[in-house]
């Protein structure tokens, strides 16, 4: 392999990128567009759950109970109702997610120390959101019931009683439990995978479509020289995208970073080389820009989005899909990014993920070189 030939191919590819607005747009603007769009639009947080209340009791006790809901930062009171038809309309129109119905005998049963049945209606059309909202409501119910019981015991016994067991939860690594802190690092991995593979998936296929591949074949260029020369410009673009994505994640989305920055940069570049190698392998096999672009999108976006653990926990997937995730490179980089960003772990924990990225990169690059030599032979 001669460095001069590699430099010549890289220069040719650089000139093409600079003269092609579409390539520049795909390489520079599209990653940021996707990062901002998904970063702000994709969230698993359920805050300010819209609530409608029908207080049939209308007593100080029922209002004190309702205040537990309206005073929570997780619930937003949007209105009151005086019949079930109003509640049904609010839920059907998606103006409300929950409805609380306090019965007529609320205060009477409460003062008589009898169980009080309060109705909670939840829109279950979005099961994930409904489950989280129901959890908020059950937490408020439990807190109010505990206070009522302790107050009754204090009134009867004349002394302050404490619960026999009191939990003191501590959330590590993401104390505010913001889904953004887990989504943005995973989103960086998905976007890098898709963009890098798309950029290089068009390189060799473009030479075949433009009729310039025959000219390259007649030159002394070897397959590895041509492939590496074509990778260099897109590697430079990818480095810029990586740096910009990390800065946006840290200073725009305010995702905390607790790890080692040089380690993050090194593993990001390793992941970038792997994704670029996959893209150029697709380009060599496809020989058509349309086919290569479509296949690159399917081979990167769907697996990286669905099977990397970025949105859906791998542990909750069926056994067969869990096995399939082991051949998804984005799975390992999502783990790396979340470990570095949120946990601050180092090589001692992430070495296996880094090793898999090296193996994937070597396999994709080796297959690309072998396949290209076979084609020009």
For residue 132, is it within any domain? yes
Q: Residue 161: its pLDDT value, please?
A: 55
In a domain, 302, yes or no: yes
Residues 39 and 58 in one domain: no
pLDDT band at 186 (very low <50, low <70, confident <90, very high): confident
DSSP letters, 128-192, are HHHHHHHHHHHHHHHHHHHHHHHHHHHHHHSS----S--------S-TT--HHHHHHHHHHHHHH
Q: Is residue 275 part of a domain?
A: yes
In 107-139, which positions are buried (b, 16+ CB within 10 angstroms) versus exposed (e)? Answer: beebeeeeebeeebbbbeeeeebbebbbebbee
Selection from 7-16, 168-177, 219-228, 251-260 with the highest mean pLDDT: 251-260
Residue 338 or residue 294, greater confidence: 338
Please check whether residue 166 lies inside any domain of the structure: no
Domain presence at residue 360? yes
pLDDT digit string (tens) for 6-46?
Answer: 888 888 888 877 777 777 777 788 888 888 888 887 777 77
Q: Which domain covers residue 311, as residue numbers? A: 3-43+178-376
- pLDDT 10s digits, 318-351: 889 899 999 999 999 999 999 999 888 889 999 9
pLDDT of residue 374: 45
How many separate domains does the chain show? 2
One domain, residues 357 and 251: yes
Looking at the domain assignment, is residue 92 inside a domain? yes
Nearest-CA neighbor of 330 among 350, 355, 352, 301?
301
pLDDT score of 113 = 78
What are the C-alpha distances in Å from 85 to residues 88, 94, 117, 119? 5, 14, 21, 15
């Amino acid at each position: 392999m001669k460095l001069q030939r590699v430099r010549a191919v890289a220069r040719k590819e650089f000139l093409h990128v600079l003269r092609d607005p579409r390539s520049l747009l795909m390489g520079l603007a599209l990653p940021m567009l996707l990062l901002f769009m998904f970063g702000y639009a994709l969230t698993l947080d359920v805050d300010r759950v819209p609530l409608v209340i029908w207080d049939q009791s209308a007593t100080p006790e029922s209002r004190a109970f309702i205040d537990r809901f309206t005073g929570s930062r997780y619930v937003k009171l949007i209105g009151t109702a005086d019949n079930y038809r109003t509640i049904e309309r609010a839920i059907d129109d998606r103006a409300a997610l929950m409805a609380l119905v306090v019965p007529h005998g609320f205060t009477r049963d409460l003062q008589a120390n009898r169980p009080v049945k309060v109705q909670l209606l939840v829109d279950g059309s979005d099961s994930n959101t409904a489950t989280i909202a129901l959890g908020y409501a059950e937490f408020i119910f439990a807190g109010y019931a505990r206070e009522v019981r302790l107050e009754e015991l204090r009134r009867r016994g004349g002394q302050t009683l404490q619960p026999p067991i009191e939990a003191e939860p501590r959330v590590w690594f993401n104390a505010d439990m913001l889904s953004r802190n887990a989504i943005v690092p995973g989103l960086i991995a998905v976007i890098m995978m898709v963009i890098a593979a798309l950029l290089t998936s068009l390189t060799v296929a473009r030479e075949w479509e433009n009729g310039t591949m025959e000219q390259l074949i007649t030159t002394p260029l070897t397959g590895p020289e041509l492939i590496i020369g074509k990778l260099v410009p897109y590697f430079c673009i990818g480095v810029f995208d990586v740096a910009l994505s990390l800065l946006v994640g840290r200073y725009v989305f305010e995702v905390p970073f607790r790890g080692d920055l040089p380690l993050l940069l090194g593993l990001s570049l390793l992941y970038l080389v792997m994704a670029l190698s996959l893209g150029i392998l697709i380009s060599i096999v496809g020989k058509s820009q349309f086919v290569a672009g479509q296949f690159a999108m399917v081979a990167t976006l769907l697996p990286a989005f669905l099977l990397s653990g970025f949105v859906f926990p791998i542990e909750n997937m069926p056994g067969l899909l869990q096995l399939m995730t082991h051949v998804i490179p984005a799975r390992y980089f999502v783990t790396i990014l979340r470990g570095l960003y949120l946990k601050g772990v180092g090589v001692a924990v992430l070495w296996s993920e880094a090793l898999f990225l090296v193996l994937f990169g070597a396999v994709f690059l080796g297959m690309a070189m072998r396949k290209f030599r076979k084609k020009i032979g």
